[in-house]
């Protein structure tokens, strides 16, 4: 009996040692790990001038985003503003404040074109763990900062410092307050600058947006058939109603031009969609024009005027490429033309050799004015004719028509331009 008891004692002792592990609750948390301590620097680049409220709100948005990174990291604020120090200086200050890493965010530009350089240094590894350069060429609303600038920063922190994302707590107080603005505009108007994506005004003509406060915002409203609308406003704790007075685009335009800088012409345009989709009719005549210096001109006429008994009646349709408020604006168009002879003894009638043709138009407008715009158009002409050789013979004997291509049933004039002034009516 004694022998059996002596043999069982080691087994009982081993069972006693293992009992806490065998019967402990599954999933019991291990001892807490000490969090990483990160010192935060926030600076603006030398030579840039942000408003104090703009700097503060950019900084607060960064703090709000960093608070969501992980419970495994503790943020200590170093400074707001000031000049950027070297890596060694930042590391020394971080050690003095008991931190084992630091993160630096430097802003430059403006709220219209914000640039941010973010870097982080791990003092335990003695190396720079990541650098990020962020830039926006469009106005930045403060509500968009977290999504457009700080998401990549927080993701890099989690990856480089092996952090687990913090779970959102329902009792955490909102750091950034917001207010609602109401925009009243034409249904279908697209609003940019207040969100990461374009916002569309609904059929009721109302758009509601939540924005962080306080803050300065700028936006642009675009709708086909209306001139673009731009505005800037300051939003405080209370909401705001913004009514946009959108100016209709033009329905008509009147063009005056010189064909090949010599012969006059005019056109009247009607816009099916204001300032965008148009049809035009026009007339240009070769009865009287300016004679340009030409080394191939073998006539003995020293006059600075020239005349040909020919005119063109034109009809075309096309559209613009680009917005109405751009300094440069392209257009494309195409149509038909008829050639008319006006001469004594003949009267007025269609030119018998090539009475009709097709024209293509590629144009460029340029002006700061919405109502008066200079334009230059390239207008190659395709003459439809069964007598291309007769058309070649209509030129002076010693003149080589270098800008014409003669085919079997057509003739192409590939060097034809119009320069003029367009009045939006």
Domain boundary, last residue among 220, 243, 266 = 243
Question: Quick check: is 6 in a domain?
Answer: no
Q: Which of 303, 256, 262 is nearest to 283 (CA)?
A: 256
User: Residue 333 pairs with which residues in a beta bridge?
Assistant: 318, 361
How many distinct structural domains can be found in the chain?
3
Instruction: Let me know whether 228 and 280 are in one domain.
Output: no
Instruction: Let me know whether 328 and 272 are in one domain.
Output: yes
| Structural domain for 153, as ranges | 36-160
Report percent pLDDT > 90 for the chain: 39
Q: Where is pLDDT greater, at 143 or 405? A: 405
CA distance linking residue 314 with residue 418, whole number of Å: 13
SS (H, E, C) 334-384: EEEEEEEEEECCCEEEECCCCCEEEEEEEEEEECCCCCEEEEEEECCEEEE
Question: Quick check: is 5 in a domain?
Answer: no
Question: Quick check: is 380 in a domain?
Answer: yes
CA distance linking residue 247 with residue 25, whole number of Å: 72
Instruction: Let me know whether 54 and 154 are in one domain.
Output: yes
CA distance linking residue 418 with residue 282, whole number of Å: 13
Classified as helix, coil or strand, 311 is strand
Q: Residue 3 phi/psi, 5° resolution?
A: -65, -40
Question: Quick check: is 2 in a domain?
Answer: no
Query: What is the value of pTM for the model shown?
Result: 0.57
CB 225 within 8 A of CB 189: no
Q: Where is pLDDT greater, at 193 or 412? A: 412
Instruction: Let me know whether 276 and 409 are in one domain.
Output: yes
Please name the helix (run of DSSP H) or strand (run of DSSP E) that holds residue 306, with its range, or none. strand 305-306
Question: Quick check: is 27 in a domain?
Answer: no
Give the CATH number for residue 94.
Answer: 3.40.50.10070
CA distance linking residue 84 with residue 87, whole number of Å: 9
Tell me what the mean pLDDT of segment 372-382 comes to.
96
Instruction: Let me know whether 286 and 367 are in one domain.
Output: yes
Classified as helix, coil or strand, 392 is helix
Q: Which of 353, 355, 318, 320 is nearest to 335 (CA)?
A: 318
CB 359 within 8 A of CB 403: no
Q: Residue 15 phi/psi, 5° resolution?
A: -60, -40
Question: Quick check: is 167 in a domain?
Answer: no
Question: Quick check: is 22 in a domain?
Answer: no
Domain boundary, last residue among 243, 261, 293 = 243
Interval 253-301: pLDDT, tens:
999 999 999 999 999 999 999 989 999 999 999 998 888 765 555 555 5
Instruction: Let me know whether 134 and 63 are in one domain.
Output: yes
Instruction: Let me know whether 278 and 298 are in one domain.
Output: yes
Exposed e or buried b per residue across 366-376, where buried means at least 16 C-beta atoms within 10 angstroms of its C-beta: ebeeeeebebe
Q: Which of 404, 395, 383, 289 is nearest to 339 (CA)?
A: 383
Interval 379-389: pLDDT, tens:
999 999 999 99
Instruction: Let me know whether 197 and 231 are in one domain.
Output: yes
Burial of residue 298 (CB within 10 Å: 0-12, 13-18, 19+) is exposed
Instruction: Let me know whether 258 and 389 are in one domain.
Output: yes
Instruction: Let me know whether 77 and 102 are in one domain.
Output: yes
Which of 71-80, 126-135, 414-423 has the least mean pLDDT?
Answer: 71-80
Give the CATH number for residue 225.
Answer: 2.60.40.10
User: pLDDT at position 216, please?
Assistant: 81
Give the CATH number for residue 348.
Answer: 2.40.160.20
User: Residue 423 pairs with which residues in a beta bridge?
Assistant: 254, 372
Q: 202: which 2 tokens?
A: 């609904």
User: pLDDT at position 379, please?
Assistant: 97
């Amino acid at each position: 009996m004694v022998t059996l008891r002596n043999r069982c004692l080691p087994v009982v002792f081993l069972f006693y040692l293992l009992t806490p592990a065998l019967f402990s609750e599954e999933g019991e948390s291990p001892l807490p790990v000490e969090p990483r301590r990160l010192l935060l620097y926030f600076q603006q680049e030398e030579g840039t001038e942000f408003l104090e409220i703009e700097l503060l709100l950019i900084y607060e948005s960064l703090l709000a985003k960093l608070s969501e990174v992980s419970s495994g990291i503790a943020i200590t604020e170093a400074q707001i503003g000031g000049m950027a120090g070297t890596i060694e200086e930042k590391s020394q200050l971080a050690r003095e404040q008991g931190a084992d890493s630091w993160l630096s965010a430097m802003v430059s530009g403006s709220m219209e074109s914000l640039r941010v350089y973010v870097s982080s240094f791990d003092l335990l590894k003695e190396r720079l763990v990541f650098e990020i350069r962020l830039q926006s060429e469009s106005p930045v609303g403060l509500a968009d900062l977290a999504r457009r600038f700080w998401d990549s920063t927080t993701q890099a922190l989690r990856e480089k410092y092996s952090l687990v994302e913090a779970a959102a707590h329902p009792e955490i107080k909102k750091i950034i307050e917001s207010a609602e603005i109401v925009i009243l505009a034409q249904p279908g108007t697209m609003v940019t600058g207040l969100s990461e994506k374009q916002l569309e005004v609904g059929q009721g003509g109302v758009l509601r947006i939540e924005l962080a406060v306080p803050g300065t915002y700028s936006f642009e409203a675009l709708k086909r058939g209306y001139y673009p609308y731009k505005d800037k406003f300051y939003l405080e704790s209370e909401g705001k109603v913004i009514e946009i007075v959108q100016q209709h685009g033009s329905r008509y335009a009147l063009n005056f031009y010189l064909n090949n800088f010599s012969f006059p012409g005019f056109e009247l345009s009607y816009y099916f969609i204001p300032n965008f989709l148009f049809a035009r009719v026009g007339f240009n005549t070769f009865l009287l024009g300016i004679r340009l210096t030409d080394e191939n001109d073998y006539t003995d006429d020293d006059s600075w005027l020239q005349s040909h008994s020919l005119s063109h009646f034109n009809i075309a349709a096309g559209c613009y490429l680009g917005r109405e408020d751009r300094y440069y604006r392209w257009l494309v168009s195409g149509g038909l033309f008829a050639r008319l002879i006006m001469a004594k003894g003949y009267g007025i009638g269609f030119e018998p050799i090539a009475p009709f043709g097709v024209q293509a138009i590629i144009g460029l407008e340029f002006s700061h004015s919405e109502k008066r715009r200079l334009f230059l158009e390239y207008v190659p002409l395709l003459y439809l004719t069964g007598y291309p050789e007769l058309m070649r013979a209509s030129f002076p004997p010693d003149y080589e028509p270098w800008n014409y291509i003669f085919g079997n049933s057509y003739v192409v004039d590939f060097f034809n331009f119009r320069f003029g002034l367009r009045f939006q009516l």
